[in-house]
């Protein structure tokens, strides 16, 4: 296992579109283990996407079970080739990102989603998500399409915030 380097803004590679996973093999499982170790390293993040670690394949990990206050969630999910099939409602919420360490921002996301994804063995699974977990999922799927949360702000002037807690080593668990 290894902790992978996280690409950070303004690295242009964060804008690349990731490709579908085709082979559900041991090499994929090794990468997923490294990605999970990377997610948990330093300030543990609720989510991470493979392109953030320099692999342009459609793989994400989310875990909203440890965000501090209890929110509806499925625990840790490793999602391969995820596809959002339904969106419902809207909500504004604060987001951070391992690739944008100095800022947080207010982003509008669907409040509830339905999702299809393969698990690491290649079996198709379906999920329904709401609230913070749905937000984290949408944020990570965006990474697969080369989109960062700062690309979704309505206004950089009113919806972008310099992060202060980072310097103090505060709670960074909510970043995705």
Enumerate binding residues for Ni ion (CB under 5 A).
97, 176
Indicate the residue among 118 and 135 with the shorter CB distance to Ni ion.
Answer: 135
Three-state DSSP at 148 gives coil
User: Alpha helix locations (H) across 5-144?
Assistant: 26-40, 131-144
**Residue 128 known to be catalytic:** no
Classified as helix, coil or strand, 85 is strand
20 vs 56: CA distance, rounded Å: 9
Dist CA 106 CA 31 (whole Å)? 31
For residue 118, the minimal CB distance to Ni ion (Å) is: 21
Our CB check for Ni ion shows the closer of 24 and 172 to be 172
Q: Shortest distance, CB of residue 148 to Ni ion, whole angstroms?
A: 7
Residue 8 or 24 with smaller CB distance to Ni ion: 8
Positions marked active-site: 140
């Amino acid at each position: 296992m290894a902790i992978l380097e996280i690409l950070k803004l303004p690295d242009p590679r964060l804008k690349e579109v990731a490709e579908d996973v085709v082979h559900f093999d041991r090499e994929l499982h090794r990468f997923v283990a490294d990605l999970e170790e990377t997610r948990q390293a330093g300030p543990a993040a609720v989510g991470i996407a493979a392109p953030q670690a320099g692999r342009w394949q459609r793989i994400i990990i989310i875990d909203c079970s440890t965000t501090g206050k209890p929110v509806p969630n499925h625990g840790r999910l490793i999602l391969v080739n995820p596809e959002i099939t339904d969106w419902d409602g809207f909500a504004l919420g604060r987001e951070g990102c391992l690739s944008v360490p100095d800022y947080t921002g207010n982003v509008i996301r669907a409040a509830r989603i339905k999702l299809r994804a393969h698990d690491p063995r290649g079996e198709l699974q379906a999920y329904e998500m709401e609230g913070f977990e749905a937000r984290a999922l949408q944020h990570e799927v965006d990474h697969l399409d080369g989109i960062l949360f700062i690309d979704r702000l309505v206004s950089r002037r009113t919806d972008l915030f310099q992060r202060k807690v980072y310097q103090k080593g505060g709670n960074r668990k909510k970043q995705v």
